[in-house]
Amino acid sequence: MDNRGQVSSEFLFLFGVLILVVMLSIAFVSNEQELNVAMSAARSGANEGVATSSSAIYPDDTFRDYLASKTSLLYPYSIEIVNISYEDLGHDINYDKKRIQFKVYAKTSKRFSNSELVSIGDRINYNLRKSIAFSFNSTASTNKLYNPVFSPHYVYTTANVKWI
């Protein structure tokens, strides 16, 4: 028997299996990369929301609303983001994508009413969603509040900010 063809056939088999493993892992890695980009954008957006809120920088209509009912939000204050996490809520049949919900945990040393904390949390969540929308270039497929936000495989929403 001639053994000269044995090495090349084993090499081809090994190379074929390697290609199969790489192709299978690419699908998994791409989804994880998408979630990593979303988490990075969420952190950046939440920090931007904290910066604009705690500096008391608001659009005109929001400023007028706060001037009438939430005057303590018109002065600079301190907020700290404690944690940002996400939860996989399963498949969303409306969008045919997996649904991911972000949750921000924050604290402040100043006493605010519940409605003021909700306003601050809304500003944080708005900037979080906006940052994700810009990261995936999906601003055209969402509304002016960026709720929900889309990426190729996921739809993102936010839960109310939890105050610690």
From residue 162, give the alpha-carbon distance in Å to each of 4, 27, 80, 104: 69, 34, 12, 6
**CB under 8 Å, gap of 24 or more: what pairs does 35-39 form?**
35/86, 35/100, 35/154, 37/135, 37/136, 37/151, 38/86, 38/100, 38/132, 38/135, 38/136, 38/151, 38/154, 38/156, 39/84, 39/86
Q: Would you say residue 10 lies in a domain?
A: no
Residue 124, domain extent: 35-163
Q: How many domains does the chain have?
A: 1
Structural domain contains residue 15? no
SS3 for 30-71, per residue? Answer: HHHHHHHHHHHHHHHHHHHHHHHHHCCCCCHHHHHHHHHHCH
pLDDT band at 7 (very low <50, low <70, confident <90, very high): low
pLDDT digits (tens, 9 = 90+) for 22-59: 988 887 787 789 999 999 999 999 999 999 888 888 88
Q: Is residue 26 part of a domain?
A: no
Can you give the pLDDT at residue 98? 95
Is 57 within the bounds of a domain?
A: yes
| Best CA proximity match to 132, nearest among 157, 149, 147, 120 | 149
pLDDT single digits (tens) 107-136: 998 889 999 999 999 999 999 999 999 999
Q: Is residue 14, in this structure, part of any structural domain at all?
A: no
H or E element, residue 132:
helix 114-135
| pLDDT at residue 3 tops 70 | no
pLDDT tens figures, 81-112: 999 999 999 999 999 999 999 999 999 988 89
Instruction: Determine, yes or no, domain membership for 137.
Output: yes
For residue 18, is it within any domain? no
Does pTM top 0.75 for this prediction?
Answer: yes
Identify the band that residue 157 occupies on the pLDDT scale cut at 50, 70 and 90: very high
Q: Is residue 72 part of a domain?
A: yes
How many helices (H) and strands (E) the chain has is answered by: 3, 5
Can you tell me the mean pLDDT for 139-148?
A: 91
